[in-house]
Amino acid sequence: METVLNPMRGPNRLKLGLFGANADGGLALTRVPERWRAEWAEMVAAARLADDAGLEFFLPIARWRGFGGETNARESSFETLTEAAALAGLTRRIALFATVHVPMIHPVVAAKALATIDHASGGRAGLNVVCGWSPEEFACFGLEMVADRYEQGQEWFEIMSRIFSAETPFDFTGRYFALRGVFGRPRPLQRPGPYVLNAGFSDAGRNFAARAADALFTTFVEIGSSGAQIADMRARADAAGRAVAVFTTCHVVCRPSQAEAEDYYEHYAVAMEDRAAVDHYMANKERFTRSHDPAAYRLHRKRFVGGAGTYPLIGTPERIADELIAIETAGFAGVGLSFVNYAAELPFFAARVLPLLTRAGLRG
């Protein structure tokens, strides 16, 4: 396989990708009949549309249980290491992330799987590290959440990284892992390894990103106040002597008119919410994570229905391009996008919004 430049390391000032297209519902918790079913063929279609449109990344979510309610959203989701390996042969340029749960996937397995994806894709593999938050998912593995999930994440990351660089087998003794004679070949094509995101929001999550990741993948409530979050992340990265970018995620309704976009948003994210699933999701997220600003839970139920609590980009191509420009100006280096129906809605977004971002100098 010919090596290509991983577009995550390319020159575009604002990188864009699809987030969540491997799971039913995507990021939404809605009952509308056109909601995303995440069947294999349509997920591949979405990945290829994104690849052809020049988006930089395809980023899946890692889920092991649904959220209940009428739709039991996310009950069906493709496992992300095997999905990325399969997409390697079905796409040409786009970076293919695997979202890997630290407590569930052993680092020796993850290192070998990521190296495999990197070889299969010519150097397009990416890793999104998630430390996990749902007790129901931990229970599937007979696990309980550890008190300091990011300390476990740090050990996990160190083991994986050493596999990528070690010349000889090594031992590792930590609080969570005690391993003997660890080694892995082949190495990934990318050096020192695949591009690394860490999905998190809390202080501990940001500190982990400062030490380990190429970018923090995080949420925000308002564009105007997000600059402080980015400055905070930069300060932590500076203290660790590293450069760490900040990526975020938004849900999108892009339509020819503002009224059309807002009407559809109201329809799928209010009138057609999957109430029990939303209640369950919001309660557990608030209880077990610091993934969102606490105010978000009280102010923005619609955003949790619309896109798992992410920021909404709702409106005309011009309006959405302006907001993406403001997001880049605030300091974000990339945005993972979700749609109610990725394959149906991405073409209009790509045709109408991307040229505006190119004109603004954010993308080539």
Ligand X SMILES: Cc1cc2nc3c(=O)[nH]c(=O)nc-3n(C[C@H](O)[C@H](O)[C@H](O)COP(=O)(O)O)c2cc1C
Binding residues for ligand X, rule: CB under 6 A, are 61-62, 99, 130-133, 199-202, 204-205, 217-219, 249, 289-291
Shortest distance (Å) from residue 120 CB to ligand X: 22
Whichever of 219 and 341 has its CB closer to ligand X, that residue is 219
What span, in angstroms and rounded, lies between the C-alpha atoms of 290 and 133?
Answer: 10
Query: Which residue, 248 or 316, has its beta carbon nearer to ligand X?
Result: 248
Q: How far apart, in whole angstroms, are the C-alpha atoms of residue 304 and residue 300?
A: 7
Least Å distance between CB 4 and ligand X? 26
Residue with Cβ nearer ligand X (184 or 334) = 334
Using a 10 angstrom Cβ sphere, with 0-12 exposed, 13-18 middle and 19 or more buried, the burial of residue 110 is buried
Q: How far is CA 11 from CA 5, 253, 275, 361, in A?
A: 11, 27, 42, 11
Shortest distance in whole angstroms from residue 298 CB to ligand X: 18
Q: Which two tokens stand for residue 298?
A: 């009280």
Closer to ligand X by CB, 75 or 260: give it: 75
CB of 74 to ligand X, least distance (A): 9
Please state the closest distance from residue 198 (CB atom) to ligand X, in A: 8
Closer CB to ligand X, 69 or 205, in the complex: 205
Q: Look up residue 28 and give its two tokens.
A: 């939404």
Residue nearest to ligand X (CB): 205
**Nearest alpha carbon to residue 215 among 242, 202, 196, 191:** 196
Q: How does DSSP classify residue 77?
A: B
First to last CA, the chain: 26
For ligand X, the closer of residues 284 and 358 by Cβ is 284
**Least distance (Å) from ligand X to the CB of residue 305?**
17
**Distance of CA 249 to CAs 9, 82, 326, Å?**
19, 23, 14
Minimal distance in Å, beta carbon 39 to ligand X? 19
CB atoms within 10 A of CB 53: 16
Q: Kindly tell me which of 17 and 205 has the beta carbon lying closer to ligand X.
A: 205
Q: Which backbone phi and psi does 272 adopt, to 5 degrees? A: -110, 25
Residue with tokens 């057609």: 272
